[in-house]
Amino acid sequence: MLLENKVAIVTGAASGIGEASARRFAREGAMVVVADIRHAKAEAVAQAIRDEQGEAVAVEVDVADAASVEAMVNAAVAQYGRLDVLFNNAGTLRPGTAVELSVADWDFVMAVNVRSVFLGAKFAVPHMVAQGGGSIINTASISGLHGDGGAICYAASKAAVINLTRALSTDHGPQGVRVNAICPGTIETPPVKRMMAEPVVLERNVNAHALRRLGRPEEIAAAALWLASDESSFVSGEAIVVDGGLRAQSPLGVLADPRPASKRA
């Protein structure tokens, strides 16, 4: 029970990585605020947690909106009396090159992916400081570590999340607040399953990972759990890569071996 007596907010918790994390946090003893813009789905996740004898409430939030994020944090503290963990996980993607992408889509993605992290910290940190510390986790992406094309705003926003994580950890570390990011590879969540419907896209993604498969939401939840818990008590300002070996590979793959990966020992 790594999160016994801890209170955790997970945003984007109605689906994918957020849902898996909310469920895992609850199984580890946390009281969980299941926060999402899709309230009915968030309610269903909170109910599923309670059905497993866990503790959870659903809160409707738009993470891009200041008043909404403030209300979410206040709801967590009103319900459970404290706030130990904030997992800023909700995010979005709008495809497009610089020529294709509309200015409105640029602003939308930056608001949902980056302003959200600023707002989460803005309203959560005072509670964490007052009680002696806390852990903030932000979902970035491997797209924040290199220049993925075709979704320039997503790549820029996730790079911003990584450096915002470092800056937040610098400001609030002295007050006992740890701030870290997670950079997932390609994880099988509902939007990714839709993107991978085309076999050639799926194959390209599978082969990009050294483990030759996509990740599961539970595998990101496990990393989030570690960062949320006291097991990572001396870790702050980091961007932890959980990508099945994607980033470790050179685009060449293996040198001087013409056999396909499946035929190598």
Ligand X SMILES: NC(=O)c1ccc[n+]([C@@H]2O[C@H](COP(=O)([O-])OP(=O)(O)OC[C@H]3O[C@@H](n4cnc5c(N)ncnc54)[C@H](O)[C@@H]3O)[C@@H](O)[C@H]2O)c1
Positions annotated as catalytic residues are 154
- Give the neighbor-by-neighbor strand order of the sheet with 85-88: 55-60, 31-36, 7-11, 85-88, 134-139, 177-184, 239-242
Q: Does 159 bind ligand X (CB under 6 A)?
A: no
When the beta carbons of 63 and 128 are compared against ligand X, the nearer one is 63
When the beta carbons of 105 and 173 are compared against ligand X, the nearer one is 105
Q: Would you state the structure tokens that stand for residue 55, as one six-digit string?
A: 């503790």
**Site of tokens 């599978």:** 206
Q: Binding ligand X by CB under 6 A: which of 3, 9, 10, 12?
A: 12
Q: Does 63 bind ligand X (CB under 6 A)?
A: yes
Q: Binding ligand X by CB under 6 A: which of 3, 22, 45, 61?
A: 61
Count of residues of this chain found to bind ligand X when the rule CB under 6 A is applied: 28
Q: Does 144 bind ligand X (CB under 6 A)?
A: no
Q: Would you state the structure tokens that stand for residue 67, as one six-digit string?
A: 């008043």
Q: Would you state the structure tokens that stand for residue 164, as one six-digit string?
A: 């915002």
Q: Who's near 193: CB < 8 A, 6+ residues apart?
A: none
Q: How far is the CB of 174 from ligand X (least distance, A)?
A: 28
Q: How far is the CB of 54 from ligand X (least distance, A)?
A: 19
Q: Does 187 bind ligand X (CB under 6 A)?
A: yes
Cβ proximity of 32 and 55 under 8 Å: yes
Q: Which residues form the interface with ligand X (CB under 6 A)? A: 11-12, 14-18, 36-38, 61-64, 89-92, 112, 139, 141, 184, 186-187, 189-192
